[in-house]
């Protein structure tokens, strides 16, 4: 996806701030399509009571947590080219992978206990917005030096760069709400609900494998293509 980010960012190269703002919006909206975001949100929502509206709210709160750490750690990069040490960046990325593994393992555990069927999911206490925010906060730390932030750091005017970073962070949350609503809508369809017994373990296993690869990639023990 880096090539697409670079293409979008070039649209605002040397242009007025209005164009830079549009570029930041587009980068933020595209941000939700990163595989690690999709894996985290999919495991976050699967097994909860299927509802597009609730999924959208939970995804937006998750995205706001992500946006908080993205802005907090991205601001020094944009303003001063101050990056986290390489070791800290690898640790943050590895933590994201561990989080995905934990979410996937929890999903598989609940599936084994029969807690992911529709009537069980509706009856149990749902994941709180605070939990979703915390998960997003951790995820944002791993993505704080993402390509979108690096591209915005190339804007010479610091005020415009910081404003563009804020817009980028906000619309990354909006994009997660859109993606989560779409995912929640798919989960609420009768055909999917009837196939929960197949969908949940498959999604959990894929997310578990992806999270494991993500951790190993962050630790530079396997090829890392993201």
The answer to whether the Cα torsion of 196, 200, 206, 211 is positive or negative is positive
The segment with the largest mean pLDDT, out of 80-84, 139-143, 191-195, 213-217, is 213-217
In a domain, 149, yes or no: yes
What residues make up the domain containing 62?
A: 2-218
In a domain, 225, yes or no: no
At residue 30, what are phi and psi to the nearest 5 degrees? -75, -20
In a domain, 223, yes or no: no
More confident residue, 213 or 2: 213
pLDDT, residue 189, reads 77
Region 34-43 average pLDDT? 78
In a domain, 172, yes or no: yes
pLDDT tens-digit readout, 123-156: 455 678 888 898 888 888 876 556 667 777 777 7
pLDDT of residue 21 exceeding 90? no
pLDDT, residue 145, reads 52
In a domain, 125, yes or no: yes
More confident residue, 195 or 119: 195
In a domain, 50, yes or no: yes
The answer to whether the Cα torsion of 115, 105, 179, 194 is positive or negative is negative
**Predicted model pTM:** 0.76
Mean pLDDT of the chain: 78
pLDDT of residue 212 exceeding 90? yes
- The total number of structural domains that make up the chain: 1
| Whole-angstrom distance, CA of residue 209 vs CA of residue 79 | 37
pLDDT, residue 183, reads 82
pLDDT of residue 86 exceeding 60? yes
In a domain, 226, yes or no: no
In a domain, 33, yes or no: yes
pLDDT, residue 10, reads 55
pLDDT, residue 26, reads 77
Region 157-182 average pLDDT? 87
pLDDT of residue 14 exceeding 60? no
User: The tokens 């750091």 sit on which residue?
Assistant: 153
**Do residues 107 and 200 make contact, with C-beta atoms less than 8 angstroms apart?**
yes
User: 154: exposed, middle or buried (C-beta count within 10 Å: 0-12, 13-18, 19+)?
Assistant: exposed
| Whole-angstrom distance, CA of residue 195 vs CA of residue 146 | 36
């Amino acid at each position: 996806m880096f090539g697409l980010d670079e293409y979008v960012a070039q649209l605002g190269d040397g242009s007025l701030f209005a164009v830079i703002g549009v570029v930041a919006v587009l980068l933020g909206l595209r941000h939700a399509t990163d595989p690690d975001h999709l894996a985290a949100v999919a495991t976050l929502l699967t097994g909860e009571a299927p509802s597009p509206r609730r999924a959208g709210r939970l995804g937006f709160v998750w995205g706001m947590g992500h946006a908080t750490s993205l802005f907090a750690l991205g601001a020094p990069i944009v303003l001063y080219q101050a990056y986290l040490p390489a070791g800290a960046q690898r640790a943050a990325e590895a933590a994201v992978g561990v989080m995905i593994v934990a979410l996937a393992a929890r999903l598989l555990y609940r599936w084994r206990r029969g807690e992911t069927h529709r009537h069980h999911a509706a009856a149990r206490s749902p994941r709180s917005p605070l939990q979703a925010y915390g998960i997003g906060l951790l995820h944002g730390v791993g993505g704080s030096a993402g390509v979108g932030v690096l591209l915005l750091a190339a804007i010479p005017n610091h005020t415009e760069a910081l404003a563009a970073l804020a817009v980028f962070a906000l619309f990354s949350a909006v994009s997660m709400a859109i993606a989560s609503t779409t995912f929640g809508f798919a989960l609420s369809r009768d055909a999917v609900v009837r196939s929960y017994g197949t969908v949940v373990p498959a999604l959990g296993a894929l997310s578990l494998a992806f999270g494991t690869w993500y951790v190993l990639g962050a630790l530079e023990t396997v090829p890392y293509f993201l």
